[in-house]
Amino acid sequence: MKPVLVIQGAQRIDEVPRLTELSEQAELRFATSTDELHAALAGADAMLGWNFRADSLRAAWDSAGDLRWIHWAGAGVDAAMFPELVASEVQLTNARGIFDIPIAEWVLGMIICFAKQIPQTLEYQSKAEWKHRLTESVDGKRALVVGVGSIGRAIGRLLQLAGMEVNAIGRSARAGGKEFSHIHAVDELLVHLPDVDYVVLITPLTAQTRNLFGAAEFAAMATHARFINVGRGALVVEDALLAALSEGQIAGAALDVFVEEPLPPENPLWRAPNCLISPHMSGDTIGFEAAMADQFMANWGHYLAGEPLNNIVDKNLGFVPSAGV
């Protein structure tokens, strides 16, 4: 008997790249709504969460009694961290590794945008105005990366190549390895914020990290410093960030993630001074869906063979342990 695989976030197999061979290996069910997912999960062995931002899984969970494995097609699994799943014996894996380099490139790009005044240059160009001015060098600037998982480490490597001094914040203090000069403990965050030019937030969203950055953290940053968030919107108290930008407590922000997505047009962050807005696309490069599908198929092979899976999430922590805060 073939195993039953639910593909959440698609209606047909051709909507997900490179998975056509699954039709011969499993009974496939598709779901794009909570009701469809509830019906599809009954008797299912495994689920591919292709639309990783959907939160319908919890509402459909009471029909998932036979489920053994969920693969989440994203790096962050916060949408899956509801108590019933955490307490279950279902194994959860994620797409760790797919987004490391693209997000690191995005972060460096935003730093260069700030340092070289690219937004201002585009504004002057739109007015055909020749406005010479001096800009900053990235070389020698100091960055603090909050989160030392695979994405955070990729960011550290790339920023070092640009000549930056890079330290990090993790769950505990330890040597930084090749990517960071040093990793400081998260309870020392306020101590180290005043010393850096750029703060990059890429920690997983958990009960412990929700609202990690609020008024106290932004007040601790230097007034010339910029804040970059590529983790999750709920890591930040957005009203506190807006106040910090509006009052000049920090020099700018580049945001790819928000508490509410899509970001509503009326949200004042759109009009906040020196704030660059990106629609949760920092890791989405051409071909990334094919890479995620290949990653799933490799794990699917392990699953069928009864072998250990890759990228197993510690559900009590909310992330792959070696990708910790």
Structure token digits, residue 43: 């008797």
Cβ-based neighbours of 216, under 8 Å, separated by 6 or more: 190
CA distances from 258 to 214, 229, 235, 277, 315 (A): 14, 9, 9, 10, 23
Question: Active-site residue 280, yes or no?
Answer: yes
Question: Active-site residue 232, yes or no?
Answer: yes
Question: Which residue of the set 38, 71, 96, 232 is catalytic?
Answer: 232
Structure token digits, residue 182: 């040093």
The single residue listed with the structure tokens 């001015």 is: 133
3-class DSSP state of 258: coil
* Rg, Å, the chain Cα set: 21
Q: Which residues pair with 229 in a beta bridge?
A: 201, 255
Q: Which DSSP letter does residue 173 get? A: -
Neighbours of 16 (CB within 10 A): 21
Question: Active-site residue 261, yes or no?
Answer: yes
Which among 158, 198, 199 has a CA at the least distance from the CA of 179?
Answer: 158
Question: Which residue of the set 21, 188, 260, 261 is catalytic?
Answer: 261
H or E segment and range at residue 121: helix 118-126
The single residue listed with the structure tokens 């910790």 is: 324
Question: Which residue of the set 58, 157, 280, 302 is catalytic?
Answer: 280
CA atoms within 13 A on the CB side of 324: 16
The catalytic residue positions are 232, 261, 280
